[in-house]
Structure 1
Amino acid sequence: MNKQDFLFELGCEELPPKALTKLAKSLHDSVASAFESLQLSFVASEWFATPRRLAIRFTELDSAQEDKQVERLGPAVAAAFDNDGNPKPAATGFAKSCGVEVSALSRKQTDKGERLAFVADVKGQQTSELIQDILQKAVSQLPVPKAMRWGNSTSQFSRPVHWVLAILGEEVLPVELFEIKAGNLSFGHRFHAPQSIAINNATDYESKLLDARVVSCFEARKAQIRIQVENAAKKINATAVVDEDLLEEVTALVEWPVALVGKFDQEFLTVPAEALISSMAEHQKYFHLIDNDGKLLPNFITISNIESSQPESVIEGNEKVIRPRLADAKFFYDNDCKKKLEDYIDKLKTVVFQNKLGTLYDKSQRISSLSKVIAHSLGADQATATRAAEICKCDLMTDMVYEFPDLQGIMGRYYATNDGENSEVAAAMDEIYMPRFAGDELPQTTTGLILALAERLDTLVGIFGIGQLPTGAKDPFALRRASLGVLRLITEKSVTLDLVELIDASINTFDDGLLNAETKSNLLEFFAARTTAMYQEKGINTQVINSVQELNVTQPLDFYNRIKAVDLFNKTPESADLAEANKRVKNILEKSDFDPAAVNIDTQLFEAEETALYQTINEVAEFVNSQVQAGHYQQALDKLAGLKEVVNNFFDNVMVNVDDPQIRNNRLALIAQLRNLFLGIADISLLQK
């Protein structure tokens, strides 16, 4: 079959930078999916994206569908003809629907008997005939943030569309989108090469645009910017800090990147570095520079979209623009420092956290009460924890955080230090929000850890308590992230805290009757699900996770220690036999109405294999139980692994469910002892190879 390269480009005004790659990927995926569903194969595909274009290229695309035979099954032969062999309406109707006479129908034996059939030869359509609908559907399904109309056009898109390019091989395809007929013309850089460019085949696309000062490949342009930024920094003996999100956004803003180094006044360095960095990045899309000690330098790197003959003028313009931005940041900081954080406490009463759960003041008071309980549990200083909690939300009321919300906590630390608060209290202003995202650092101070737990638990208990549980993709209060944060904080900071006790303590900080009766049970179930998800992401076998979940362990650190031990045990040669034995014991006990506590084991009734098992259990029980009590689950399982031979010997030679009730109950009591030894760690019966 003939194969040709396919190229499609949509040219428009500058697209929203944060939506650019999503639009390009969606366009590519929709068209690729359509080709596959229409059985049009291709060797490779890729997408391109610049501020003024979305493009896709498919290499060696089938120029037409293959011809094929399609079999249609009709009515049963018995129902299609009368006794004389004349066709009934069922046969004639089926033949008519196939566009043939009854005589052209064949017969086919199926599992439902013999049926009429017709095999039709279907000629494949040309790709050029299918492409209009494919592209029309793909474009209409693009995740456009906000559509607009332009000129006299009735079409809608994210930005006005100026040209459409669609070619298969060297042929311009009969496509019309946004009331524009497709051609083979593209356009270069708006300023460097604004004239049209003829693209005669898909292979030339990138090189033709490169000659016209457009780096069409998003990833190539991104890599080019990174290299330019790093090299520009080296020229002034500095290091550029390349934030990935900023790099992504800047890449979506330019077609021909040129890195330029500018500077700002030293006086602004009296402002916290994070505030200056946020101002430069958010407002101007500048990359900041640091020295060998990691200190912010009074320089920046901007990415221009033109290669100017007078770069000094471009740099000067950027320096003029950034000065008022940094001056604003300095004003905010200086103004905020005129007041103490505690002066904002009353202002918290004016900001609603959630209609039913009250204001930020109410939330900070609840956090304070819960922090005191957690501090007591950890043997930490309660006064320090409650003081930090009282002012933990105050920086949200400052000018700086109002302007740059991402600086919440960070500015709180600076302001608390400026107020003369002790170092733990100051650190906790920032650490309360840790971890901010997956893999983020955790609090370094005990007070920060306490507040981080209390803040998340208050949100979880409150939102669950008023029935606003996360559903599907909707999680407006980021409860999944909050719960994972709690689990990480407790586990990775190695603190012994119980979720039941924490939830109870948090519930007690809310007004009576505010939270529903299912709050605790729903939240514990939610934590269990998040625990499973967390360990699955770490690559832990689901059976291992379930074996510990079966015990309803509510101490995250204890859960972690059990998981670690069971995961190692599951990889030993003994685990399979012992898991099978535990499963067998579990099934036997569940099917009986036997109560092990009601039976005292009588060793006089034992056979040799029972005696061996009983003696072995007694020999290891004290050690195993002491290790379990100490949380040394690995040592306990190592000891239990030695039971493999005696357990196998028991089940190979002893029948538990014999007719004699006394002997049967004696044996049930014995295997119950065996199972209880393992259940002190996990339900090993769930480990199936």
Structure 2
Amino acid sequence: MNNYLLFEVGVEEMPSRFVASTLKQIKESAESMLNEKRVKFDNIKTYATPRRLTFIIEGLAEKQENLEEEVKGPSKKISLDADGNFTKPALGFMKSKGLNPEDIYFKQAGKDEYLFATIREEGAETSEVLKEILPLAVKSVVFPKAMHWAGKDIRFVRPIRWLVALLNDEVLPVDLEGIIASNVTKGHRFLGAKEITVNSVEDYMTKLRENFVILDQAERKEMIVKQAEEVAASLGGKVIMDPDLLDEVTCIVEYPTAFYGEFDKEYLKLPKKVVITPMQEHQRYFPVEDGCGNLLPNFIAVRNGNSHGIENVKAGNEKVLEARLADALFFYREDQKRDINYFKERLKTVVFQAKLGTIYDKSERLEKLAGSIADMLGCADEKADIVKAAGICKADLVTNMVFEFDELQGYMGMEYAKLDGEKEEVAKAIYEHYMPRFAGDELPSSIHGSVLSIADKLDSVAGFFAIGIQPTGSQDPYALRRQALGIINILMENKLTIDIRKAAEYALDNYTEIEFDKEKVVSEIMDFFAERIKNSFRDMGIRYDVVDAVLNSDVSDIYDMHKRASELNEWINKDELVEMLTAFNRVSTLAEKAEGTCVDENLLKEAPEKELYEAFKSVKTEVEVYLDAKEYGKALDSFASLRPAVDNMFDNVMVMDKDEALKNNRLNMLKNISDTMLKICDLNKIEYK
């Protein structure tokens, strides 16, 4: 199978954020449809630039595999009437499969005979299959926003202008709503030929490169990194290479050429991130720093083209950055004319949510809630600084700098707090309280920042739940899921133990201006957190039944639940798991019949039940010690040591004795054992085969 397909989708320049996902979706659709159509292939290589999506399918079979499939129809008693003639169900089955009466037969299946037929289908030529599935693969892509053009029904992120399709060296005339594939592609928009005829994959790759298109995105990325590092070294510095920015720049150029620009040293008086933000976020430039981490008055940009006229390009980029940095310096100096308390007062004019008050009101609530959480964590020494940070953490939202560069919220609050003489801990907490801002983001590193971040997010969750606003399906306009997940990650990663239910109650207590059923809202919040915990644990590779087993215990202590689930996830790999779970599931089933937990040792008549109870008393004490130390694996090992005694009792003692007193005493003993198990987790939730 040495056949190959070259398929290129030529488009108007795509936004960089869609390039990778579009490539991935088309590839996955093509793979799925090739498998469904029984066309064997070795692999699919993918390449992309802003103007083209290219797929090379290697090792294609000449044709589909022949199909031979036995299909089952209605039962014999439904298929034949009293005279032995085929009924409507039987005739309908034959018609749907394109069969004649001589093609079918009856065969035993279970208790009855059924109508069967063997369908044989000769495999079609691969070229015919490809002409069918390639347009479908392109049309299958889902975009948050898509375009129509030229009266076509297809929706795509940008208009599709040409197609190239070569099966080996022959043109495959794929038809995508009137766009017919050929062997003619296009070079770089400004530097390359408008039409390039290609005759093979090798010819395609070579001619694109000759026409200033580096097709392989990995190669373009390497070129950008190498060029940027060389340029930075020539300036006596090193480039600050943000991975996300590098990926973005890679996807907006077909032929990268890095160059440097300069700006006035006066702007280096600004905080480092204030200089970096307009470079990276607005202009897609890479900053340059010296060996000590100080910014140099330079930047590195990447041009989509060669070095011709690069001085003009450099001057234009310098001019744009100069304007942004001049604005930043002006706003920074204007903000310094006021202290942070002035900005806090201005928060009274900024609405947080119509029913939940202003941002100033939120700041007041945060002081109380952060203080309560600090108390829960035993942070007596840190509490005053945490409360101080809570009161001013939102003040920078009304500064000139954040109004112009909203990416700097939190960071400017930290910088202005330092300028106002606040402690380093207070300033850092202001910066960290927005963390994590997105999945995989950095978490607060200080206890001050952790407490304030939890308080900020929990205040929002509690407030919105109190007024009946909750995430539904894909709708979560206030990012409450993300905020709940942020709380969960902070508690787990920073090993913080708080009662999240009690913290939610504290948060709700601060909403004195609105009416709600506190007990109902707390219950809804806990269910909401339970669902987020489930998803989070599963993403960590913890089995779903382990998650359910742990969630059956107290949900309030999230860090404790994480530790419990992690250790149980390891513990269930034991060889004797099936025997243990069988025994303790039986204990739990009988324990449900118990009317109490009081065990009268005088009523333990049989040796096996006496031995079990003595063993249990010892194990219970040991388990409680391990639980206090949060050593859940050891607690499970200790509890599992009861299994031989449990098996012995069930083998030799009738629990449901005719004597009510003996029966109830035995059930109460089993209830004690079951309750001890539930303090660790609910082993009944663990599935086994």
Q: Deviations over 1:312-347 (max 9, x none)?
A: 444344333322222222222222222222222343
Name the counterpart of 1:222.
Answer: 221
Q: Deviations over 1:46-101 (max 9, x none)?
A: 22211221222212334543454677777877788888878888888888888887
Is the Cα contact below 8 Å between 1:308 and 1:314 reproduced in 2? Answer: no
Aligned counterparts of 1:615 and 1:113: Cα–Cα separation in 2: 57
Q: Does 1:660 align with 2:662?
A: no
Is the Cα contact below 8 Å between 2:588 and 2:670 reproduced in 1? Answer: no
Is the Cα contact below 8 Å between 2:604 and 2:610 reproduced in 1? Answer: no
Matched residue of 2:323: which SS?
helix
**Displacement of 1:305 after TM fit?**
1.5
Q: Does 1:533 align with 2:532?
A: no
Aligned counterparts of 1:51 and 1:642: Cα–Cα separation in 2: 63
Aligned counterparts of 2:445 and 2:127: Cα–Cα separation in 1: 63
Aligned counterparts of 1:672 and 1:88: Cα–Cα separation in 2: 61
Q: Does 1:396 align with 2:397?
A: yes
Name the counterpart of 1:581.
Answer: 583
Name the counterpart of 1:416.
Answer: 417
Name the counterpart of 1:108.
Answer: 106
Name the counterpart of 2:297.
Answer: 298
Q: Does 1:308 align with 2:307?
A: yes
Q: 1:512/1:318 Cα in 2 relative to 1: closer, same or farther (>3 Å)?
A: closer
Name the counterpart of 2:522.
Answer: 520
**Displacement of 1:415 after TM fit?**
1.2
2:397 partner amino acid: L
Matched residue of 1:396: which SS?
helix
**Displacement of 1:638 after TM fit?**
5.4
Q: 1:130/1:340 Cα in 2 relative to 1: closer, same or farther (>3 Å)?
A: same
Aligned counterparts of 1:616 and 1:588: Cα–Cα separation in 2: 19
1:423 partner amino acid: E
Aligned counterparts of 1:215 and 1:402: Cα–Cα separation in 2: 40
Is the Cα contact below 8 Å between 2:542 and 2:566 reproduced in 1? Answer: no
Q: Deviations over 1:2-29 (max 9, x none)?
A: 7632222222332222222222223333
**Displacement of 1:44 after TM fit?**
1.3
Q: 1:69/1:296 Cα in 2 relative to 1: closer, same or farther (>3 Å)?
A: same
Is the Cα contact below 8 Å between 1:578 and 1:684 reproduced in 2? Answer: no
- Residues 220-299 of structure 1: matches in 2 within 5 Å? 220-299=219-298
Q: Does 1:372 align with 2:371?
A: yes
Q: Does 1:42 align with 2:32?
A: no
1:584 partner amino acid: R
5+ long unaligned stretches in structure 1: none
Q: Deviations over 1:206-233 (max 9, x none)?
A: 2331232211122332233233333433
Q: 1:71/1:386 Cα in 2 relative to 1: closer, same or farther (>3 Å)?
A: closer
Q: Does 1:61 align with 2:63?
A: no
**Displacement of 1:185 after TM fit?**
0.9
1:223 partner amino acid: E
Q: 1:588/1:138 Cα in 2 relative to 1: closer, same or farther (>3 Å)?
A: same
**Displacement of 1:402 after TM fit?**
2.3
Aligned counterparts of 1:87 and 1:621: Cα–Cα separation in 2: 71
Q: Deviations over 1:421-453 (max 9, x none)?
A: 232321221111122334444334433222111
Candidates 545, 549, 552, aligned match of 2:554: 552
Is the Cα contact below 8 Å between 1:500 and 1:554 reproduced in 2? Answer: yes
Q: 1:515/1:119 Cα in 2 relative to 1: closer, same or farther (>3 Å)?
A: same
Aligned counterparts of 1:160 and 1:619: Cα–Cα separation in 2: 74
Q: Deviations over 1:575-605 (max 9, x none)?
A: 6655443322111111x243223xx513364
Q: Deviations over 1:224-280 (max 9, x none)?
A: 323333343344443322212211110111111122233322211111111211101
Matched residue of 2:680: which SS?
coil
Matched residue of 1:183: which SS?
coil
Is the Cα contact below 8 Å between 1:165 and 1:185 reproduced in 2? Answer: yes
Please identify, of 93-102 and 558-567, the stretch whose mean Cα deviation from structure 2 is larger: 93-102
Is the Cα contact below 8 Å between 1:580 and 1:688 reproduced in 2? Answer: no
Aligned counterparts of 2:394 and 2:171: Cα–Cα separation in 1: 61
Aligned counterparts of 1:44 and 1:281: Cα–Cα separation in 2: 37
Name the counterpart of 1:596.
Answer: 597
Q: 1:78/1:211 Cα in 2 relative to 1: closer, same or farther (>3 Å)?
A: same
Aligned counterparts of 2:603 and 2:68: Cα–Cα separation in 1: 79
Q: 1:521/1:148 Cα in 2 relative to 1: closer, same or farther (>3 Å)?
A: closer
Name the counterpart of 2:408.
Answer: 407
Q: 1:302/1:499 Cα in 2 relative to 1: closer, same or farther (>3 Å)?
A: same
1:7 partner amino acid: L
Aligned counterparts of 2:84 and 2:679: Cα–Cα separation in 1: 77
Q: Does 1:473 align with 2:474?
A: yes
2:348 partner amino acid: K
Matched residue of 2:512: which SS?
coil
RMSD of the alignment, in Å? Answer: 3.5
Q: Deviations over 1:628-656 (max 9, x none)?
A: 44655556555545545444443443332
Q: TM-score, normalised by structure 2?
A: 0.88
Matched residue of 1:45: which SS?
strand
Please identify, of 436-445 and 520-529, the stretch whose mean Cα deviation from structure 2 is larger: 436-445
Name the counterpart of 1:490.
Answer: 491
Q: Deviations over 1:466-519 (max 9, x none)?
A: 333223333332222222222233333343321121011011111354445521
Name the counterpart of 1:200.
Answer: 199
Is the Cα contact below 8 Å between 1:107 and 1:114 reproduced in 2? Answer: no
Matched residue of 2:370: which SS?
helix
Matched residue of 1:454: which SS?
helix
Q: What is the number of equivalent residue pairs in this alignment?
A: 684
Matched residue of 1:588: which SS?
helix
Please identify, of 647-656 and 632-641, the stretch whose mean Cα deviation from structure 2 is larger: 632-641
Name the counterpart of 1:502.
Answer: 503
> Among the aligned pairs, what percent are the same residue?
38
Is the Cα contact below 8 Å between 1:562 and 1:633 reproduced in 2? Answer: yes
2:556 partner amino acid: T
Is the Cα contact below 8 Å between 1:5 and 1:59 reproduced in 2? Answer: yes
Q: 1:21/1:549 Cα in 2 relative to 1: closer, same or farther (>3 Å)?
A: closer
Matched residue of 1:435: which SS?
coil
Q: 1:671/1:14 Cα in 2 relative to 1: closer, same or farther (>3 Å)?
A: closer
Is the Cα contact below 8 Å between 2:37 and 2:129 reproduced in 1? Answer: no
Is the Cα contact below 8 Å between 1:461 and 1:506 reproduced in 2? Answer: yes
Please identify, of 629-638 and 298-307, the stretch whose mean Cα deviation from structure 2 is larger: 629-638
1:432 partner amino acid: H
Aligned counterparts of 1:176 and 1:418: Cα–Cα separation in 2: 65
Q: Deviations over 1:24-52 (max 9, x none)?
A: 22333333333333323322112221122
- Residues 299-378 of structure 1: matches in 2 within 5 Å? 299-309=298-308, 311-377=310-376, 378=378
Name the counterpart of 1:456.
Answer: 457
Q: 1:148/1:602 Cα in 2 relative to 1: closer, same or farther (>3 Å)?
A: closer
Is the Cα contact below 8 Å between 1:128 and 1:174 reproduced in 2? Answer: no
Q: 1:282/1:643 Cα in 2 relative to 1: closer, same or farther (>3 Å)?
A: same
Aligned counterparts of 2:372 and 2:245: Cα–Cα separation in 1: 41
Is the Cα contact below 8 Å between 1:72 and 1:118 reproduced in 2? Answer: yes
**Displacement of 1:410 after TM fit?**
1.0
Aligned counterparts of 1:45 and 1:294: Cα–Cα separation in 2: 43
Aligned counterparts of 1:168 and 1:566: Cα–Cα separation in 2: 54
Matched residue of 1:504: which SS?
helix
Is the Cα contact below 8 Å between 1:173 and 1:183 reproduced in 2? Answer: yes
Is the Cα contact below 8 Å between 1:161 and 1:178 reproduced in 2? Answer: no
Is the Cα contact below 8 Å between 1:574 and 1:641 reproduced in 2? Answer: no
Is the Cα contact below 8 Å between 2:591 and 2:674 reproduced in 1? Answer: no
Q: Deviations over 1:131-186 (max 9, x none)?
A: 45434333334345655566898987544544322222222223344644322011
